[in-house]
Structure 1
Amino acid sequence: MSVRYLTAKLAQQIDEELMSAAGAFSLDQLMELAGLACAQTLAASYKKDKYPRVLVCCGPGNQGGDGLVAARHLGMFGYTPTIWMPKPGSKDIYKRLQTQCTNMHIPTLSNPDSSDPNFASRTESTLKSTLENHDVILDAIFGFSFKPPVRAPFDMALPLLSSSGLPIVSVDIPSGWDVEEGNKHGVGLEPDVLISLTAPKEGAREFKGRHWLGGRFVPKTMEEKFQLNLPEYPGFDQIVELPQNKEGKL
């Protein structure tokens, strides 16, 4: 039986249940496990001897938190990550995660103040010059709750990332994609690698790259309740690669 693909509503329901009294997980725990899976996916797909410099692009929500955790683990794996986070999350958890990265000597690109009239052009210039000095991108900008349009400065960033020529690893759903209908707006990234978290999302059915799953934290009771049909994870890995046919579907 093949793994179940999730709608936006079902993905949200599972997240809420994981953090309810029944699931008993905290947001910190889930971010740590998700970010570790993301770091393992990038390391499994792009070896550090050839792709040591990782640009970790983070949005202001939970997806960005996963990216910060992944950056820390990548640093521990021996990569040289740099964080681009033009709109840092305001919650305490994001500040703590960024401090943890700073303590690992992982730099965060400085950004102009959003009130600066040249904010957009300066942000674009910073990102463009940074891309020239990196080997691979970890896309942790938008998650499954993304709704168009893409707003500044990410409306500028997505085309720059796409045109950089660097391989892209996207977290959960490629940034700019509709969680159920894929890249229907034509503004999303087209990553080379996707790491789905918990279970793949409906929009990922059209994804044609290398596809991994990181959901080893899902308890058996919840897997059974939602009929997720998750594959078996090998050994002690936090990730498992999903098979796909030529059309990019399981």
Structure 2
Amino acid sequence: MAFPRATGKHRRPSRLTRKGAGAVGVAALATTGVVGTLAAPALAADNAAESTTVEKTALNEAASMDVAVVQHIAAQAGAQEEAADRAAAKAAAEKKAAAEAKRKAEAERKAAARAAKEREAKKRAAREAERKRLNAYVAPVSGSYVSTGYQTGGALWSSGSHSGVDFHAASGTSVVSVGRGTVVEAGDGGAYGNQIVIRMSDGTYTQYGHLSSIGVSVGQSVTPGQQIGLSGATGNVTGPHLHFEARTGPDYGSDIDPVAYLRGHGVDV
């Protein structure tokens, strides 16, 4: 005969009953979402931790990327700055070289201009010196003196007087043209012995007599100081010397004072 278990409020459930009820309660809680609600905070914490890790990783990667970008940009900027410095240095060097080349070219131009000016000045000076030389007059015998004066009287001369002057000169002494001119006579002159007559550039004439030798020919141009012969004692003489005349024409009888003539052309005799 079975006796039913009393269920009054003052009777405590048995252990088995409590355990069964607990299991049923857990199942019920699971079914109703209570367990899920209780488990949610743990899942959320895990998700938050994972999210934080991901964010940190992303931040680290971003930071690394930022550093790389900054370094790359800095490297580019440095390279560009270095290239700019090189370009500036090159431009400065080229500018300096161009300025130096210009300065050198200008200096060379000025030097060439000075040299050309100096050459022209030297040419002008040489031409002037030559002009003066050609227009200058000299004594017919260098270092000599007049031994017999102009118009000295005596039986030695057919006209009764000396038509020129005699320059002291040993035989073989150099005789030169007193100025620029053209030879019109060169040969035997009778009483004058070997003689030379020159038409001077100013239209006057000079004569050189008693020569031992003649060194020019008719038609030849001569210049001041040019040797034309050697002194001697040919013709009507008493000893070696140079007979010199100045004339207005080529022939005997047109003589003028030879000393005054030479002095008038700047010759100290």
The structure that has the greater radius of gyration is 2
**If the TM-score is normalised by the length of the shorter chain, which range does it land in?**
under 0.3
Q: Which has the higher strand share?
A: 2
Instruction: Considering Cα pairs closer than 8 Å and 6+ residues apart, tell me whether 1 or 2 has the greater RCO.
Output: 1
TM-score (norm. length: structure 2): 0.20
Structure number with the higher helix fraction is 2
